[in-house]
């Protein structure tokens, strides 16, 4: 993947770290000088289209931009520390589940205060940046999950991918594939946030809620995964698979399906076999809500209000209608704006299934969860692991997860 929602490929950082508070724009005189932008894209170097867009937006705002790129986890820690020291960047591009953390810590300003405009973005994507009725930042784009399939494997098993519309039809397809001598489905169920991320489409697709981990709907979702292991439809390796290792299993050419994201599109084209993509089906039909990956462009608090206004100009430029197609193309994202999504599909028709998945997707911190989400996610992935390894029943594992989530509030 280009980058997963949880792990980033770390390459050489292309610009120097801001040396001291004196470099920050809060001392630059408002609308002149050097402004800092931090992002979680170390894979994009100085000559990339992403960096060219940053430079363009800086020039239009009348300032120079000094960019710093970090791994996403490192970025979160460094921003929180910098904010405590009064040296937060002027513009911050941050993973969408982290927005609520930044809000709680007082790092980022609301759009009402800065003038950032998220009105064109899809409400389901904006929701990840909403806290107590205020919106913080603008989604720069989105990625999510779907099912890649190997056309030759399905054809040999007599499976029409169009027939897969719910869990029952997916189960039937897996049975035919395994009976034909091939492998069924691989995914990531590792005991980390990646495991929760991959489980959520099945959890939400069953009608479960993150506030009710021990519900019958939640049990149905984890029982589905367990049944795949018991029937030999999925390998035991899923218990330790990351999204990268599950993709590698699929790319070997023996599996019918893998659950993975838009970030694997380029790898899919290099796999050496024909592939297709299906939206993950909900339990009784339709598209299951998958969690959104992707970042928000935000404006951190500064000492000088004028610098915040200029930072908002830069941020609005990056996500504005004139530049958003180029920005999302540079980042290989599905756009957060429906009109831009239509332009993406017109240029690349095979993106339609991803646009459909993004339109049905949900933010992990949505539904008012905010910073509560990590305290729910960890018990959830722990429960899934317990069921898949056979150490607990779904009812017992999820009851323990609910108790753990409730005690940590």
**Other C-beta atoms lying within 10 Å of the C-beta of residue 200:** 24
Distance of CA 108 to the CA centre of its chain: 20
- In 218-265, DSSP assigns E strands to 255-261
For residue 276, the model assigns a pLDDT of 96
Return d(Cα 280, Cα 205) in angstroms, integer: 8
Instruction: Quote the pLDDT of residue 32.
Output: 63
Structural domain spans, the chain: 21-142+294-360, 145-290+369-407
HSE value, Cβ hemisphere, 13 Å, CA-based, for 279? 24
Domain 21-142+294-360: which CATH class? alpha beta
φ and ψ of 335, to 5 deg: -65, 155
d(CA 370, CA 373): 6
State which residues of the chain have pLDDT below 50.
1-30
pLDDT at 384: 98
DSSP class of residue 348? -
Number of other CB atoms surrounding residue 364 within 10 Å: 23
Is residue 373 within 8 Å of 97, Cβ to Cβ? yes
- The answer to whether residues 129 and 99 touch, using CB atoms and an 8 Å cutoff, is yes
User: What local confidence, expressed as pLDDT, does residue 1 receive?
Assistant: 36
**Over the stretch 76-87, which tens digit does the pLDDT of each residue have?**
999 999 999 999
Please state, in angstroms and rounded to a whole number, the distance separating the CA atoms of residues 349 and 361: 20
- 21-142+294-360 and 145-290+369-407 agree in CATH topology: yes
Residues in contact with 114: Cβ distance below 8 Å, sequence separation at least 6, in sequence order: 299, 308, 309, 311, 312, 315
pLDDT of 409: 60
| Cα-Cα end-to-end distance for the chain | 34
Coil vs helix vs strand at 243: helix
The whole-number pLDDT of residue 20 equals 27
Instruction: Tokens 């029982």: give the residue.
Output: 223
Tell which phi-psi region holds residue 391, choosing left (phi > 0), alpha (psi between -120 and 50) or beta. alpha
pLDDT tens-place string over residues 320-374: 988 999 999 888 899 999 999 999 999 999 899 999 999 999 999 888 888 899 8
Percent over 90 (pLDDT), the chain: 81
Contact 292, 363 (CB under 8 A): yes
The reported pLDDT for the residue numbered 367 is 81
Q: How far apart, in whole angstroms, are the C-alpha atoms of residue 263 and residue 127?
A: 22
Tell me, what's the pLDDT at 265?
Answer: 87
Q: Quick one: which of 268, 184, 277 has its CA closest to 231?
A: 184
What CA–CA distance (Å, rounded) separates 178 from 169? 14
- Answer yes or no: are the C-beta atoms of 192 and 211 closer than 8 Å: no
Q: What dotted CATH number matches 145-290+369-407? A: 3.40.190.10
Q: Which residue, 160, 151, 187, 179, is CA-closest to 274? A: 151
Strands of 255-261's sheet, edge to edge? 183-186, 255-261, 145-150, 275-278
Residue 139 contacts residue 125 (beta carbons within 8 Å) = yes
Q: Is 139 exposed, middle or buried (0-12, 13-18, 19+ CB in 10 A)?
A: buried
Query: Count of alpha carbons within 13 Å of 105, Cβ hemisphere only?
Result: 22
What is the crossing angle of helices 193-205 and 243-251, to 10°?
70
* Residue owning tokens 């049905």: 360
């Amino acid at each position: 993947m280009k980058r997963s929602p949880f792990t980033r490929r770390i390459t050489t950082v292309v610009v120097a770290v801001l040396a001291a508070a004196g470099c920050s724009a809060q001392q630059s005189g408002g609308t002149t000088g050097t402004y800092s932008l931090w992002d979680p894209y170390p894979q994009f170097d100085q000559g990339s289209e992403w960096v060219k867009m940053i430079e363009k937006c800086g020039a239009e705002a009348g300032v120079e931009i000094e960019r710093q790129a970090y791994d996403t986890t490192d970025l979160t820690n460094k921003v929180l520390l910098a904010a405590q020291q009064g040296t937060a960047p002027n513009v911050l591009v941050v993973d969408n589940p982290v927005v609520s953390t930044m809000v709680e810590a007082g790092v980022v300003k609301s759009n009402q205060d800065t003038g950032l405009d998220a009105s064109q973005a899809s409400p389901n994507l904006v929701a990840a940046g909403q806290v107590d009725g205020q919106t913080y930042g603008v989604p720069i784009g989105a990625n999510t999950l779907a099912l890649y399939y190997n056309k030759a494997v399905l054809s040999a098993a007599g499976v029409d991918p169009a027939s897969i519309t719910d869990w029952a039809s997916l189960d039937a397809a897996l049975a035919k594939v395994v009976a034909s001598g091939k492998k069924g489905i691989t995914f990531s169920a590792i005991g980390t946030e990646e495991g929760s991320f991959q489980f959520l489409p099945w959890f939400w697709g069953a009608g479960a809620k993150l506030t009710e981990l021990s519900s019958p709907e939640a049990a149905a979702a984890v029982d589905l995964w367990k049944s795949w292991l018991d029937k030999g439809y999925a390998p035991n390796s899923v218990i330790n698979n990351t999204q990268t290792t599950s993709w590698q299993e699929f790319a070997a050419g023996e599996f019918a399906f893998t659950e993975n994201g838009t970030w694997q599109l380029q790898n899919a084209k290099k796999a050496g076999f024909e592939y297709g993509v299906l939206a993950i089906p909900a339990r009784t039909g339709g598209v299951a809500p998958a969690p959104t990956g992707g970042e928000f462009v935000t404006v951190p608090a500064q000492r000088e209000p004028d610098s915040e206004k200029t930072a908002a100009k830069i941020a609005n430029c990056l996500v504005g209608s004139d530049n958003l197609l180029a920005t999302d193309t540079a980042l290989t994202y599905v756009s957060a704006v429906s009109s831009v999504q239509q332009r993406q599909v017109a240029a690349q028709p095979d993106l339609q299934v991803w646009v459909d998945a993004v339109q049905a997707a949900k933010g992990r911190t949505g539904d008012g969860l905010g910073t509560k989400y990590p305290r729910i996610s960890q018990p959830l992935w722990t429960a899934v692991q317990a069921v898949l390894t056979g150490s607990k029943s779904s009812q017992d594992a999820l009851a323990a997860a609910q108790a753990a989530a409730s005690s940590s509030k």
